[in-house]
Amino acid sequence: MHEFSYEAPTTVDQAVKLLASDGDSARVICGGTDLLIQMRNAVRKPRLLVDVKGIPEMREISFDAKAGLKLGAAVPCIEIHESQVMHRYYPGLTEAAHLIGSLQIQSRASIGGNLCNSSPAADTSPALLAVGAIAKIVGPAGTREVPVEKFFTGPGTNVLQKGELVVQILIPPPAPHTADRYIRMIPRNEMDIAIVGAGACVTLDGDKVAAARIGLGAVAPTPILAPKAAEYLIGKKLDEKTAERAGELARESASPIDDMRGTAEYRRHVVGVLTKRALLGAAERARQN
Amino acid sequence: MSKKQLVETTINGEPTEFLCETRQSLLESLRDVLGLTGSKEGCLTGDCGACTVLVDGRPVCSCLMLGVEARGKKITTVEGLAEGTQLHPLQQKFLEDASLQCGICTPGFLMSAKALLDRNPNPTEAEIRYALAGNLCRCTGYDKIVRAVMNAAKVMQGR
Amino acid sequence: MDTPQTHQFKVIGTRPVRHDGLDKVIGRAKYGADYSFPGMLYGKVLRSPYAHARIKSINTEKALRLPGVKAVVTHADFAPQTTAPVYRMGGEAAVNPLYLASNILAKDKVLYAGHGVAAVAATSPHIAEEALALIEVEYEPLPLVLDLLEAMKPGAAIINPDLRRKDKPDEQTNIAGEFQFKRGDIEAGFKAADIIVEREFRTEMVHQGYIEPPNALGIFPGDGHATVYTSTQGPFDVRIMSATLLGLPEGNVKVVPAEIGGGFGAKLTVHIEPVALLLSKHAGGRPVKMVMTRTEMMRGATGPTSGSILRVKMGATKEGRIVAAKAWFAYEAGAFPGSPVWLGCFTGLSPYDIENFLVDGYDVLVNKPKTSSYRAPGATNAAFAVECVVDELANRCGMDPLDFRIRNASREGTQSVMGPKFPRIGYIEVCEAIKNSQHYRTPLAQVPGKYRGRGVATGFWINGGMQSSAIVNVHADGTASLVTGSVDIGGSRASTAMVVAEVLGLRAEDVRPAVADTDSIGYTDGTGGSRVAFATGLAAYQAAHDVVRQLKERAAKVWEISPEDVAWVDGKAISKKNGAPPLTLKELAPRLTRTGGPVTGRANVYATGVGPAFAACLVDVEIDPETAKVQVLRCTVAQDAGKAIHPSYVEGQMQGGTVQGLGWALNEEYVYDEKGTLRNASFLDYRMPTCLDLPMIEPVIVEVANPGHPLGVRGVGEVSIVPPPAAVANAVSMAVGSRITDLPISPPRLFKVLAARRG
Ligand SMILES: Cc1cc2nc3c(=O)[nH]c(=O)nc-3n(C[C@H](O)[C@H](O)[C@H](O)COP(=O)(O)OP(=O)(O)OC[C@H]3O[C@@H](n4cnc5c(N)ncnc54)[C@H](O)[C@@H]3O)c2cc1C
Ligand code: FES
Ligand code: FES
């Protein structure tokens, strides 16, 4: 690995200053589970690493029935899994975080890192898309809020500018009878990168769908929403048949490729299957809310 | 820039200071700087778990953590598992149940299993398999490892 | 009669804690990468990004100028090599030193992406890495060939210009070797068949997947003597190969075998040991440590095993008798000749007694890393094809797949494919063990919404014998030590020490086993070929008997009788003459000093009498019809161990090999892009099974004594990997109602099969 400096600020301000101080060559390190591998492979060569794990507001998980969730970007996935609040209000996002890597990885890997690494296959991204999450970004020019669907710009790239970092992820409070679910397809049962991931969040009004959002991973250059599939469901009863149809519509949103992890043909097929399953799973949970 | 950093930490219960370059991982710091070669290198990408240590009680791949990040933390390595000459029940059961063949994966499995039993003293087979999924073993087919963890749990519960 | 099956052993067959276990659970055991010496440097290898290119120039000046860099070497720094073979493994394996040197560091062409080009030693691994980036290599890319069938066609890009077609000696070819085994009248055989099944199968390259990266620590000061610490399966192999590449007499190289973190055959050859020594030599004799990265070892030349194309045609009568078999096997050798296709050719059909067969094998060069051994090398590919076809034949005959196999089974006296008649073997017994297992007798329950299937398959492996040395030292306290040259990769210290303990009447823990360096023990072939418990065990057995012979003499002295009048029974010297009470080793040991001095037993063996091994695997799978993902629900493996010295470690070999076979069946494969770069060169994407992917693996040890060994021992290390790919394929085929022909049966591949079936 190349040489670099390392700083561990304790406030967002300090972090922003440090990040802005070294041109394009400063980077946030959180869990390091993506970044250190990229540095070892000389894919990234930052001269300065800014460790954000010691910044209190980036480690917080707080929920307010009106304001919704503030989820610190540096919260490691294992803490998401251990949070009662997360399980209660965002079970789908929680299960997505708990799918990342192994327990060793989850002890380090952060939700913000998963987002900012911006892999098309990142597991929490479809789940964040489904719940309508917003990235709270702080930089030299101040604070801005970017919805996750506007965050990604390509494989491994996003809207963050020089000196900016994601401080928190904000998620609106779930409406009554709302729940989310995330499912992925991997050939093994753990320790694998999604061939396809699907997150769904469903709000029910009686037995009809009042609102729905579907996020997909690993089937396009970035994680994407599947708006057609979601719209189709509005006002309908969510059952095998409608979920199946929504799955077919989700396939139309996907533009998968062949790679070492799977073929485009297979991915397109599985998008439908997982969308259906995620929707049925979310609805099942929503009924109990 | 290449100036070494002083890291004050606690390793296996002992307050420890060491000097490392920022680019040295915790694994390198343990092995090359401190001579604690019990933690093994299998991949350097977080995939095999041979380098697993506990950081403040949580299992972590020490290959994916910088040495400088150990500041102020409590690190437990396989060398710190036994109390003096008294083996940890996991170590004892790994021996009795023939849970190691080549043994390169053993330190990592022991640490992951310890992290599990510390939190969940009475895990099911499925929970054990889940907790150990970040550790690869190519020799044993895992059967005897899973059994040893079950048996250690029994011993620790006085069953 | 007292046979290994009836004899009441005291130690053999028990399950003591292994002697080296404590060090391994407390983190004290030293593996190769754990060694350090003052002044040590770190070495790294620069590897080619091209799969096929001419090296026009290599400029190392900038790298050498980087502070901290102490040496840079290339192929030209090896002693000049020829193609004249160097022999190892008791003369059974020939190494082409020019190929060996050219594979470790490319000569004038790189032949696969990941091929070593130059190496650097520096004061830290990070500096060494930085130096690699400063080495300037000019390449001229050449056309490449990755596909096995393409490589065999006339007009394919040629990898080795010196290879010529067998039939047309002036035509270049990528076919590096052709093998044929035949017997009987194949045409007549098929005419007599009522049922004929013919299929083509395909498998991809797979990696051994040992967790410990290859490593070497070389010390080569100017005095002409070199020392290398390394995690190797074959210290004496490393010695001859390193000496050859460095141009040293063999005896000038000392190899110190470190603990080893798995090898499965791949660590029987050298990967970086000669480079570490070369770098040390060029760095003024400073120790140089090298540890490969995972990507390096997968892309580079540590050797996966071959991908293959396998065509098998077999015919049987309605009554279920196989009357003819024809097989055509092509294996990828990688960039240099030497796939295990010949082993595939003579193991594939060996479980069966077939009158008429014809087997053709081709060793084919492709622009991929040179293959190296992997547990029962060559056998798994061949068995995959044969066992799938046998399954189909059994089905078509309306027979139980195990009954069909038993009806056609090889047994004592059957002439094997290789020619010689089988001694007593346990093929039928392993089939019966599966038939009688709880698992087989429990019908597989179907569940709604899933496809479930059950499959069986069997496998054969020849096992190895060859040379081993052993020394047993008796201590004054009545304990003993055992010194061998066999690296302990999975409990062999324990099993060889148990043999000594049994003979000497000691407890297992009273015999301390040690693995010595190549200066301190006689020649010993590598830990491979399932040979350690068998051959080194035999050496230990004989060395213990050498001790017994001497102890009888000492007892005779004590009793003042002639040694002929002393017997050794159940670990005690017994006087046949006067009524003196028996003397145990514990009682004799303190008297050694006064009866003639220390006692050391020695034995050097060239072990013949190898007992072939058979295994059978039974597996239940469940398939998600929508995602085409296969889950293994239950798995039982039966294997003939001859005699299980330490049953736990025998079971461990069976379970471990089975799981490697399951990985091969389900998800493991090398995935290349069109430029010849391995895309999945990490554990994350190579997808070996984790413990969450598996059930418990139920072992059934079968003991049919090997008549060629005093304790009945057969090797147990390899054969268990052979059946699972076919067993899984048979189970999946049953579940989905279509014949599976390609490995791995990964979700995207199985999805295609399911989609085709749905139409
Ligand atoms: C063995 C293994 C298995 C894995 N399995 C999965 C998996 O199943 N699913 C999955 O989705 N991922 C997986 N990953 C990838 C990785 O663990 C996740 O993406 C993880 O969430 C990254 O978080 P981190 O905190 O480690 O990020 P880091 O590596 O610290 O950072 C990642 C990137 O984001 C930037 N960054 C981090 N935090 C911020 C911030 N707050 N503001 C701005 N930029 C920031 C960094 O500069 C860097 O570029 C796996 C990784 C490994 C090693
Ligand atoms: S070496 Fe750290 S996970 Fe493999
Ligand atoms: S015992 Fe060898 S890898 Fe686990």
pLDDT digits (tens, 9 = 90+) for C135-171: 999 999 999 999 999 999 999 999 999 999 888 889 9
- Quote the domain boundaries for residue A28: 5-51
Rounded mean pLDDT of B97-124? 98
Closest CB to C747 among A3, A187, A190: A187
The residue of chain C nearest to residue B141, with distances taken between CA atoms, is C656
CA of C294 to the centre of ligand 2 (A): 10
Q: Which residue has the tokens 């003639």?
A: C596
pLDDT digits (tens, 9 = 90+) for C627-644: 999 999 999 999 999 999
B20/C contact by beta carbon, under 8 A: no
CB contact under 8 Å between C26 and B130, yes or no, is: no
Atom of ligand 1 nearest to the CA of B45: 53
DSSP reduced 3-state for B50: coil
CATH number of the CATH domain containing A276: 3.30.390.50
Residues of A with Cβ-Cβ distance to C746 under 8 angstroms: 187
Q: Which residue has the tokens 């007499």?
A: C249
Say what the pLDDT of residue B58 is: 98
Say what the pLDDT of residue C92 is: 62
C748/A contact by beta carbon, under 8 A: yes
pLDDT beyond 90 at C300: no
Q: CA B130, B134, B139, B144: dihedral to nearest 10 degrees? A: -30
Give the residue from A171, A196, A213 where a domain finishes.
A171
CA of A145 to the centre of ligand 1 (A): 21
Q: Which of A248, A263, A266, A267 is the best substitution to test chain C (most C C-beta atoms within 10 A)?
A: A266
pLDDT digits (tens, 9 = 90+) for C258-298: 999 999 999 999 999 999 999 999 999 999 999 999 999 99
Q: Domain map of chain B by residue range?
A: 4-80, 89-156
Q: How confident is the model at residue C90 (pLDDT cuts 50, 70, 90)?
A: low
Over pLDDT 90: what percentage of chain B? 97
DSSP reduced 3-state for C116: strand
**A89-124 burial string, b = 16+ CB within 10 Å, else e?**
bbbbbbbbbbbbbbbbbbbbbbbbbbbbbbbbbbbb
CB A278 within 8 A of CB A200: yes
Determine the distance from the C-alpha atom of residue A205 to the mean position of all C-alpha atoms in its chain, rounded to a whole number: 27
**DSSP-derived secondary structure for B55-90:** ETTEEEEGGGSBGGGGTT-EEE-GGGSSBTTB--HH
Least confident of A256-260, C22-26, C401-405, C584-588: A256-260
Same domain, A195 and A279: yes
Three-state secondary structure string covering A3-63: CCEEECCCCHHHHHHHHHHCHHHEEEECCCCCHHHHHHCCCCCCCEEEECCCCHHHCCEEE
Tell me how many residue pairs between chain B and chain C have CB atoms under 8 A apart: 185
Weakly modelled stretches of chain A, pLDDT under 70: none
CA C287 to CA B2: how far, in whole Å?
24
Q: Which of A77, A78, A104 is the best substitution to test chain B (most B C-beta atoms within 10 A)?
A: A104
Say what the pLDDT of residue C148 is: 97
Residue among C264, C286, C251, C248 nearest C207 (CA): C264
pLDDT beyond 70 at C134: yes
- Closest-CA distance of chain A to residue B38, Å: 17
Q: How confident is the model at residue C87 (pLDDT cuts 50, 70, 90)?
A: confident
B109/C contact by beta carbon, under 8 A: no
pLDDT beyond 60 at B1: no
Element housing C590 (H / E): none
C692/A contact by beta carbon, under 8 A: yes
Residues of C with Cβ-Cβ distance to A42 under 8 angstroms: 133
CB contact under 8 Å between B112 and A104, yes or no, is: yes
The residue of chain C nearest to residue A185, with distances taken between CA atoms, is C627
Q: How confident is the model at residue C579 (pLDDT cuts 50, 70, 90)?
A: confident
pLDDT beyond 90 at C558: yes
Element housing C358 (H / E): strand C356-365
pLDDT digits (tens, 9 = 90+) for C498-518: 999 999 999 999 999 999 999
The class level of CATH for C21-29+464-607 reads: alpha beta
Q: How confident is the model at residue C222 (pLDDT cuts 50, 70, 90)?
A: confident
Say what the pLDDT of residue A11 is: 98
CATH number of the CATH domain containing A67: 3.30.465.10
Same domain, A12 and A94: no
Say what the pLDDT of residue B147 is: 98
Say what the pLDDT of residue B2 is: 57
pTM for this entry: 0.97
Residues of A with Cβ-Cβ distance to C631 under 8 angstroms: 189
CA C43 to CA C70: how far, in whole Å?
10
CA of C267 to the centre of ligand 3 (A): 15
Give the total number of structural domains in chain A.
Answer: 3
Rounded mean pLDDT of C349-356? 97
**Mutate which of B47, B78, B109 to test ligand 2's pocket (most atoms within 8 Å of Cβ)?**
B47
Report the pocket of ligand 1 as residue ranges, CB < 6 Å.
A 27-35, 52, 73, 99-101, 105, 108-110, 112-114, 116-117, 122-123, 160, 165-166, 193; B 45-47; C 684
CB contact under 8 Å between C27 and B78, yes or no, is: yes
Over pLDDT 90: what percentage of chain C? 93
Mean pLDDT, chain C, integer:
96
DSSP reduced 3-state for C572: strand
Atom of ligand 2 nearest to the CA of B46: 3
What are the start-end ranges of the H helices in chain B?
Answer: 26-28, 89-96, 106-119, 125-131, 143-156
Same domain, A184 and A279: yes
The class level of CATH for C393-461+611-758 reads: alpha beta
B89-156 topology per CATH: DNA polymerase; domain 1 (1.10.150)
Q: How confident is the model at residue C390 (pLDDT cuts 50, 70, 90)?
A: very high
Say what the pLDDT of residue A161 is: 95
Determine the distance from the C-alpha atom of residue A135 to the mean position of all C-alpha atoms in its chain, rounded to a whole number: 10
Is the fold of C21-29+464-607 the same as that of C393-461+611-758?
yes
pLDDT beyond 80 at C50: yes
CA of B39 to the centre of ligand 2 (A): 9
CB A185 within 8 A of CB A195: yes
C675/A contact by beta carbon, under 8 A: no
Determine the distance from the C-alpha atom of residue A111 to the mean position of all C-alpha atoms in its chain, rounded to a whole number: 7
Report the pocket of ligand 3 as residue ranges, CB < 6 Å.
B 100-105, 137-140; C 211, 262
Say what the pLDDT of residue C571 is: 87
Atom of ligand 3 nearest to the CA of B100: 1
Least confident of C67-81, C134-148, C155-169, C307-321: C155-169
Same domain, A196 and A160: no
Same domain, A65 and A130: yes
Chains within contact range of chain B (3+ C-beta pairs < 8 Å): A, C
CA of C490 to the centre of ligand 3 (A): 8
Say what the pLDDT of residue C570 is: 86
B4-80 topology per CATH: Ubiquitin-like (UB roll) (3.10.20)
**Mutate which of B29, B30, B53, B63 to test ligand 2's pocket (most atoms within 8 Å of Cβ)?**
B63
Over pLDDT 70: what percentage of chain C? 99
CA A218 to CA A264: how far, in whole Å?
10
Q: What is the CA radius of gyration of chain C?
A: 27
pLDDT beyond 80 at C301: no
- Closest-CA distance of chain C to residue B18, Å: 17
Report the pocket of ligand 2 as residue ranges, CB < 6 Å.
B 41-44, 46-51, 61, 63
CATH number of the CATH domain containing A16: 3.30.43.10
Window 576-615 of C, Cβ < 8 Å to B: none
Chains within contact range of chain A (3+ C-beta pairs < 8 Å): B, C
Q: Domain map of chain C by residue range?
A: 21-29+464-607, 393-461+611-758
